[in-house]
Amino acid sequence: MAGESLIPPTEKRESTMSVLTPTLTLEQETNPWEAQAARFDFAARKLNLDQGIWKVLRQPTRELIVHIPVGMDNGSIEVFTGYRVQHSVARGPAKGGIRYSPDVSLDEVRALASWMTWKCAVVNIPFGGAKGGVICDPKKMSQGELERMTRRYTAELIEFLGPEKDVPAPDMGTDEQTMAWIMDTYSMHMRQTVTAVVTGKPVNIGGSRGRREATGRGISVVCDEALKQLGMSIEGCRVIIQGFGNVGSNAAKLLAEKGYTIIGIAEYDGGLYNQNGINIPALIEHRKLAGTITGFKEAEAADKEELLTCACDILIPAATENVITSRNADRLRCKILCEGANGPTTTIADDILADKKVFIIPDILANAGGVTTSYFEWVQDRMGYFWTEAEVNQRLDSIMTESFNDVILYAKTHSVNNRIAAYMLAIDRVAYTTKQRGIYA
């Protein structure tokens, strides 16, 4: 829990966000910054948050836009646009991934940075929130082009990054190699090896054991806790996962090992369904060889959109934002929605799911396993002493379980749904620290 609240809870608490969502247009519904702001405002109002602190926390601390010239393999020069948004550094250095995608926008990066602030606060680790991105299509770029772009992007941001300032990590379109390039570029400018400037690195240059599987592992832990809350059993629990990248595939693997039945997998290029359960290790091997989940013979081909609305006990959207909207929320037939992706559910969809009594494990809790183990990596780098995978996993399981219980208790205490409880808990923690520190002038 927050330890100390700024304002005592009011006696009456509303359980849905319906006072906010009617004011959102269809365009706003799928704008991640608008969605984040609507949820923040609603939770802040519930907390009776001081108006001054409200204004401070509603906006990012710093927004950077850089234009990156890169020499391409064919001899031409391209200029890519990159962003880095630091939402808050009240509780510690800014923390957040870097994504490479054609769809990156400033509003998206703003929203992801703010979600990182709340995510770090929910699991009570000493970071603020940040996010970065470059508008590009990494699938159409060579390894050399990606390296040159990454190094120039890092150089443009060099004075704003650092173990005590802002610590990036991988996200969509980036990986361990990207982090190695960033770490090396930063280290060359500092004239010393600085492993703690990024997380999600290869293990041999300061990465943490268990980091690659951490987000999926965190999802499996909160699913376990949700079943306990609802009096359900793992045996026979049917799961559908949308997205089979690092997060989705590791969540599927770990859940299957625990005894969950993974009946559906949806990917960008198709879906699979098997009511008796999909053999996840075999599917991972198939994907490794074929580069796709399609064509897997131990499951039926299925429409990726229709899979989201198939009957199941747990639905895990683990890909991108705005997967569950006003267009399909009323057709969902899951008992539990566990948000492995950032912002997969719009605010209007939240209202619909509340009416359907769907138990939501919100993104700022459900996928916090990744940033929690990134915190472990940062700590290990700064100590120069590294833990075993068993130690990493034990610490992660403990934090995810405790954080889940904190959110559920907050929801019950304030008579709000799980998402608003997570936001209230996070905002309360950040606001309390901000007020303690005071406003420098």
Active site residue 288: no
| 8 A C-beta contact, residue 144 and residue 164 | no
User: Hey, what are 436's tokens?
Assistant: 């303690």
Cα 165 to Cα 160: distance, rounded to the nearest angstrom: 7
User: Hey, what are 330's tokens?
Assistant: 């009323």
| 8 A C-beta contact, residue 262 and residue 280 | yes
Where do runs of H (alpha helix) occur along 340-388?
A: 347-355, 363-366, 369-383
What is the CB neighbour count within 10 angstroms for residue 304? 17
Which residues have CB under 8 Å from 194's CB, separation 6+? 162, 163, 183, 186, 187
Q: Is the dihedral of CA 380, 384, 385, 390 positive or negative?
A: positive
Write the DSSP assignment of 165-222 as a string of letters.
TEEEEE-TT--HHHHHHHHHHHHHHHTS--GGG-SS--GGGTPPTTTTTHHHHHHHHH
* Active-site hit among 131, 201, 253, 335: 131
Q: Is the dihedral of CA 107, 111, 116, 117 positive or negative?
A: positive
In sequence order, the β-bridge partners of residue 242 are 266, 317
Cα 110 to Cα 60: distance, rounded to the nearest angstrom: 7
- Largest pairwise CA distance in the chain: 67
Catalytically annotated residues: 131
